[in-house]
């Protein structure tokens, strides 16, 4: 039985060899070479990605924000592979550009980047960089960018979407607002740490000292404390500051004004009802003060018992102040709330 079984196995093996297709060996060889090539390409991508991340970590160890020109931008941001998010500030910090907003935004951006760099959650999934117009003009042209400063998020995969561009005009460029936007786009939460600022404490101490010294010098005559006019002036100053948007400026940190990079025209009034400039708040404060002064003069002309001619002049001056500056205030309101139908004197 054992001698007859062995030839049977040899015949089966021979039969199997005869039935193998003659063209399968080149196909198998080609498939093997393709697998080797794909494996080598994947390994090459992994090595390239590791080199890019290592280089970015080295730059981050030196400074929290690294500057990029056109070549670096294309290599580390545009070209794959990439498994990290990149926040880029497009700006124009050279003195000849005269971009004061860029310098203010850069200070907030630096605070944010330092908060991330020195936090315990720091990792190689998020980096901060900067492209200056004079160092990367080709990048601005490639992105069709015509204004600065601009903040953009470049995700690990795919192209940036509309929400990956920070709405600076509406929100402002405070570090806290930037951190909230980054958390929405990357799920990386950054706790902003600001360097200690003692200017407010020093100013408060000087004010308390001044008031204390004044009270000490006038300790024998404190009737001025009961002066209604003085307290009315202080109250009006507070009301003007609050109604002009100073608290909004403090929270949002908007720029003082906006300079068009193409024609150099400076805008002091923001064109949207959702935002404002610091200069706009100052303008509104002056207009409200002028209208209030006109109302005070009208009241004085009506209640005083002096010369009739003098009262008439005071009345005309007060009426002129109210009419002119209220018209100016209404025109600003119309420029921000498009479609508002009413106007008075000034359109």
In this prediction, residue 24 has a pLDDT band, given cuts at 50, 70 and 90, of: low
Q: Which residue has better confidence, 345 or 27?
A: 345
When mean pLDDT is compared across 16-30, 173-187, 296-310, the lowest value belongs to 16-30
37: helix, strand or coil: helix
8 Å CB contact between 84 and 57: no
The pLDDT assigned to 23 comes to 54
Give backbone dihedrals phi and psi of 116, rounded to 5 degrees, phi first: -75, -45
CA 54, 58, 63: angle at the middle one, nearest 5?
145
8 Å CB contact between 91 and 148: yes
Would you say residue 36 has pLDDT above 70?
no
In this prediction, residue 41 has a pLDDT band, given cuts at 50, 70 and 90, of: low
Would you say residue 248 has pLDDT above 70?
yes
Handedness of CA 72, 78, 80, 81 (dihedral sign): positive
- Per DSSP, 188 falls in state -
For the chain, first and last CA: distance in Å?
115
| Residue 119, C-beta contacts closer than 8 angstroms, at least 6 positions apart | 190, 191
Handedness of CA 281, 283, 286, 288 (dihedral sign): negative
In this prediction, residue 266 has a pLDDT band, given cuts at 50, 70 and 90, of: confident
pLDDT in tens, 146-164: 888 899 999 998 889 989 9
Q: How is residue 209 written in tokens?
A: 């000292």
Angle of helix 175-186 relative to helix 100-117, nearest 10 degrees? 60
The pLDDT assigned to 19 comes to 47
pTM above the 0.75 mark? Answer: no
Would you say residue 4 has pLDDT above 80?
no
Would you say residue 268 has pLDDT above 70?
yes
Would you say residue 132 has pLDDT above 80?
yes
Average pLDDT taken over every residue of the chain: 82
């Amino acid at each position: 039985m054992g001698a007859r079984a062995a030839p049977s196995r040899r015949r089966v093996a021979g039969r199997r060899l005869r039935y193998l297709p003659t063209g399968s060996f080149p196909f198998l060889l080609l498939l093997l070479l393709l697998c080797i090539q794909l494996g080598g390409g994947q390994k090459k991508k992994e090595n390239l990605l590791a080199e890019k991340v290592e280089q970015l970590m080295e730059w981050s160890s030196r400074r929290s924000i690294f500057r990029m020109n056109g070549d670096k931008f294309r290599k580390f941001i545009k070209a794959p592979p990439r498994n990290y998010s990149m926040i880029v500030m497009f700006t124009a910090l050279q003195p000849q550009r005269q971009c004061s907003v860029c310098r203010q935004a850069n200070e907030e951006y630096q605070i944010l980047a330092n908060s991330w760099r020195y936090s315990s959650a720091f990792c190689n999934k998020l980096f901060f960089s900067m492209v200056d117009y004079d160092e990367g003009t080709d990048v601005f042209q490639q992105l069709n960018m015509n204004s600065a400063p601009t903040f953009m998020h470049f995700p690990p995969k795919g192209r940036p979407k509309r929400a990956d561009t920070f709405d600076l005009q509406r929100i402002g460029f405070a570090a806290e607002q930037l951190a909230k936007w980054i958390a929405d786009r990357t799920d990386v939460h950054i706790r902003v740490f600001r360097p200690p600022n003692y200017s407010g404490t020093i100013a408060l101490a000087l004010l308390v000292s001044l008031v204390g010294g004044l009270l000490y010098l006038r300790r024998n005559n404190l009737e001025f404390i009961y002066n209604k006019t003085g307290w009315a002036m202080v109250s009006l100053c507070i009301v003007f500051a609050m109604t002009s948007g100073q608290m909004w400026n403090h929270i949002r940190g908007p720029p003082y004004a906006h300079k068009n990079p193409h024609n150099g025209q400076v805008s002091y009034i923001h064109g949207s009802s959702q935002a404002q400039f610091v200069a706009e708040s100052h303008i509104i404060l002056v207009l409200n003060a002028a209208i209030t002064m006109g109302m005070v003069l009208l009241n004085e002309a009506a209640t005083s018992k002096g010369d009739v001619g003098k009262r008439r002049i005071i009345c005309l001056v007060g009426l002129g102040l109210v009419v002119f500056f209220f018209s100016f205030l209404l025109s600003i309101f119309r420029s921000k709330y498009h479609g508002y139908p009413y106007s008075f004197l000034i359109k």
